[in-house]
Copies of this chain bind each other. A is one copy, B any other.
Amino acid sequence: MSATILVVEDEPAIQELIAFNLKQAGHQPMRADNAEQAMNLVSNALPDLILLDWMLPGMSGIDLARRLRTDKRTKTVPIIMLTARSEEQDKLAGLDTGADDYITKPFSPRELNARIKAVLRRRAPQMTDDVVQIGGLRLDPGSHRVSGNSEPVELGPTEFRLLHFLMTHPERVHSRTQLLDHVWGDHVFVEERTVDVHIRRLRKALEPTRLDRLIQTVRGTGYRLSGG
């Protein structure tokens, strides 16, 4: 799993430390000293996750988090808050910001990595670059390749994302709405039945390998990918 992670932290020493640790863990850190800088960076390129210091000069981390959560484009980016021990009370005092997790400074790199991993997996397991394999199907997010029973399978972008999501959440029924949320993105206005069409295209692409049977319809509920 490799992700680009934005570190928003005004203390240079701590920023450096975190960035170093992130690099060690295989991630790609971006840095910002304050909220304004962070906003600029984010407007250029969405990171996969944001580490956000609670106390910042100028606009506070709390405010920044709120703003990120308001903007449609950034509202789904996972946020981990960094708080000092003395600020711990504020977790409760301050209104909740919608952060995905909190870490109390000082923290160990081990803890940081663990939480990052947990948040990434919770928020977007299909974001990781892990190769997924289920019942003869194999999808490699890194090389963007899919194969069924060792035969290559050609997929369009949407079918790829759809299959990726299903494979990272197998043995579970997903309603059309859920699929739209996770594969198409939050709050995209698309007809629910469009999902059917893409399921159809995915099945068609898998037909030559007979693996289309893995994608099952649960009438009245949605679709499920099952390894059996």
B-binding residues in A (CB < 8 A): 13-14, 17, 20-21, 24, 69, 91-96, 98, 106-109, 142-144, 156-157, 171-173, 218-221, 224, 226
Is the pair B95, A106 in contact by a Cβ cutoff of 8 Å? yes
List residues of chain B with CB within 8 A of the CB of A69: 20
Task: Among A17, A144, A218, A219, find the residue whose CB has the most chain B CB atoms closer than 10 A.
Answer: A144
Q: Which residue of chain B has the shortest Cβ distance to A226 in the bound complex?
A: B143
Is the pair B96, A109 in contact by a Cβ cutoff of 8 Å? yes
Copies in the complex: 2
Is the pair B92, A108 in contact by a Cβ cutoff of 8 Å? yes
What's the Cα separation between A24 and B98 when bound, in Å? Answer: 9
What's the Cα separation between A224 and B141 when bound, in Å? Answer: 12
Q: With A69-B20, A173-B143, A226-B143 known to touch, is A95 a contact of B157 (CB < 8 Å)? A: no
Nearest CB in chain B: distance from A165 CB, A: 15
Nearest CB in chain B: distance from A224 CB, A: 6
List residues of chain B with CB within 8 A of the CB of A17: 95-96, 98
List residues of chain B with CB within 8 A of the CB of A95: 13-14, 17, 106
What are 20 contact pairs spanning A and B, CB under 8 A? Answer: A13-B95, A17-B95, A21-B96, A92-B106, A92-B108, A93-B106, A95-B106, A96-B108, A98-B109, A142-B171, A142-B172, A142-B173, A143-B224, A143-B226, A144-B218, A144-B221, A144-B224, A156-B219, A156-B220, A157-B220
